[in-house]
């Protein structure tokens, strides 16, 4: 077998493992790095370190805990870089979240993600507008309030209701899917 074949095989091994672990890793990063834009960056850094360290990964061991170890370090690096600009969960809580991430199945997370695709389409009116401004335009609450000619607290309430609506929609979708299957 040529070295090109070996590289290619190794790459496929990594990508298959990564794809399976990615929903959990993504969930862990999401839980600890609330800023969406930064969370994507951290996730990309994790992927980079995972790929560079893949040669030292022992295939006899589960991939998720190994990659989650790297994820935790990258998240801690990010949190340190934030200084006091944001609230940071305690080490003990981070560990509990790490355990929770490992206990969730990637299927569940993937299904929730798929359900979300349908749920965002159902968002309408002011809730949709607030979600768009917050998540796509990445505007802070004050700016959203100015743009919508309302108060900051009203925006916060609307945003909370929109998020709750999405979460409830996902749960309903999964319940229906579970009943149907």
What does the alpha-carbon distance between residue 133 and residue 124 come to, in Å, rounded to a whole number?
Answer: 13
* Contacting other proteins within 31-50 (CB under 8 A): 31-32, 34, 36, 39-40, 43-44, 47-49
**What's the token pair of residue 44?**
């990309």
Query: Is residue 124 a contact point for other proteins (CB under 8 A)?
Result: no
Query: Is residue 139 a contact point for other proteins (CB under 8 A)?
Result: no
Measured CA distances, 39 to 21, 61, 79, 90, 111 (Å): 16, 27, 11, 18, 21
Nearer to other proteins, 114 or 176 (CB): 114
- Cβ partners under 8 Å of residue 140, min gap 6: none
How many C-beta atoms lie closer than 10 Å to residue 102's C-beta? 13
Query: Is residue 176 a contact point for other proteins (CB under 8 A)?
Result: no
Minimum Å gap between C-beta 149 and other proteins is 20
> 130, 145, 158, 159: which one contacts other proteins (CB under 8 A)?
159
Query: Is residue 133 a contact point for other proteins (CB under 8 A)?
Result: no
* Contacting other proteins within 64-103 (CB under 8 A): 64-65, 69-70, 73-74, 76-77, 79-80, 86-87, 89-93, 95-103
Minimum Å gap between C-beta 127 and other proteins is 12
Query: Is residue 153 a contact point for other proteins (CB under 8 A)?
Result: no
Minimum Å gap between C-beta 40 and other proteins is 8
Helices in 54-151 by DSSP H: which ranges? Answer: 63-82, 91-103, 106-122, 125-131, 141-147
Q: What is the H or E stretch that residue 49 is in?
A: helix 36-53
Query: Is residue 112 a contact point for other proteins (CB under 8 A)?
Result: yes
Minimum Å gap between C-beta 126 and other proteins is 15
- Cβ partners under 8 Å of residue 163, min gap 6: 131
Q: 79 and 13 in contact (C-beta within 8 Å)?
A: no
Query: Is residue 8 a contact point for other proteins (CB under 8 A)?
Result: yes
């Amino acid at each position: 077998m040529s070295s090109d074949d070996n590289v290619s095989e190794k790459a496929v091994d990594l990508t298959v493992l990564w794809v399976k672990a990615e929903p959990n890793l993504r969930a862990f990063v999401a839980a600890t790095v609330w800023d969406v834009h930064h969370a994507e960056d951290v996730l990309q850094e994790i992927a980079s370190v995972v790929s560079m360290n893949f040669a030292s990964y022992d295939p006899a061991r589960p991939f998720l805990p190994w990659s989650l170890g790297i994820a935790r370090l990258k998240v801690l690096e990010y949190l340190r870089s934030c200084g006091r600009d944001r609230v940071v969960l305690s080490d003990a809580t981070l560990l509990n979240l790490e355990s929770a991430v490992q206990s969730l199945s990637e299927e569940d997370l993937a299904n929730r993600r798929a359900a979300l695709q349908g749920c965002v389409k159902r968002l309408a009116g002011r809730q949709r507008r607030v979600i768009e401004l917050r998540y796509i335009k990445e505007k802070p609450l004050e700016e959203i309030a100015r743009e919508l000619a309302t108060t900051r607290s009203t925006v916060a309430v609307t945003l909370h209701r929109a998020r709750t609506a999405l979460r409830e929609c996902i749960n309903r979708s999964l319940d229906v899917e579970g009943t149907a299957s």
